[in-house]
Amino acid sequence: MNILLLGPPGAGKGTQGERLADRLGLRKIATGDVLRAAVREGTEQGRNAKAYMDRGDLVPDEVILGIMKDALAAPASASGVILDGVVRTVPQAEGLERVLRELGRTLDVVLLFDVEDDELVSRLSSRTICESCQTPYSGRPPGETCEKCGGTLVRRKDDEPNAVRTRMKAYREQTAPVVEWYRRRADGANGTRLVTVNALGPVDEITERVMRELEK
């Protein structure tokens, strides 16, 4: 089974992806991880990517897709994969479809983690970090004292409510067309299912929700 995860930052995709990979015996592939591995191992595509990174440029989709294709073709991916952070735009969705087709594989499920903006704002704004030793905390408000070093807890700029709302707006503008693209695919005959999961609630409960959907 090949699964693609979609969802906003902070919706818990990474955590759920790990758990699903364990439960289903699939390999989890995140773009950042395979990119770093390819650069470290010095593969052809990795050297390609490094040239862009050394210049401070974004690595183009074509290079990322090449790295993704290598990862998908690896023996570790044979029984199936969970793709996290791989598709953010329609051209990337088209690219992934092409790469999978070249490998004789298909995407079985697109899992969309859905979460309300307000929930995300409260979830992210309850995260703080120690100003001095960088220890992360959850549910401890800014101004409290770090247990490890006595430093002051602060909120990351990215996690301020206004910053979260701005990120969510950008995410929805960018992702809505991707979701629509997969919805049209799902209606067609190529067999990809689009499943929306409510990402609100305890981590275990969300995993069970996803498992129930996948068993349908």
Residue 111 DSSP one-character state: E
In whole angstroms, how large is the CA radius of gyration of the chain? 19
Q: What is the closest distance, in whole angstroms, from the C-beta atom of residue 149 to Zn ion in the complex?
A: 3
**Total length of the chain:** 216
Binders of Zn ion: how many residues, by CB under 5 A?
8
The H helix count followed by the E strand count for the chain is: 8, 8
List the structure tokens of 91: 């051209």
Q: Which of 133, 170, 176, 211 binds Zn ion (CB under 5 A)?
A: 133
Bridge-based pairing of strands 109-114 and 127-130 is: unpaired
DSSP labels for 28-50? EEEHHHHHHHHHHHT-HHHHHHH
Interface region with Zn ion, contact rule CB under 5 A, candidates 41-49, 87-95, 144-152, 155-163: 144-152
| H or E element in which residue 161 lies | helix 161-187
> Does the protein bind Zn ion through residue 148 (CB under 5 A)?
yes
What is the β-pairing status of strands 127-130 and 136-138?
A: antiparallel
Q: Is 130 in the site for Zn ion (CB under 5 A)?
A: yes
Out of 36, 50, 88, 193, pick the active-site residue. 88
Residue 30 or 146 with smaller CB distance to Zn ion: 146
The only residue of 73, 149, 203, 211 in contact with Zn ion, by rule CB under 5 A: 149
Select which of 156, 169, 184, 212 is catalytic: 156
| Residue 112 is a binding residue for Zn ion (CB under 5 A) | no
| Residue 13 annotated as catalytic | yes
CA dist 215 → 35, 145, 208 (Å): 32, 46, 11
153 binds Zn ion (CB under 5 A): no
Under rule CB under 5 A, residue 145 binds Zn ion: no
* Candidates 39-47, 62-70, 131-139, 196-204; binding stretch for Zn ion (CB under 5 A): 131-139
Q: Which residues bind Zn ion (CB under 5 A)?
A: 130, 132-133, 135, 146, 148-149, 151
- Give catalytic residues, as residue numbers: 13, 88, 127, 156, 167
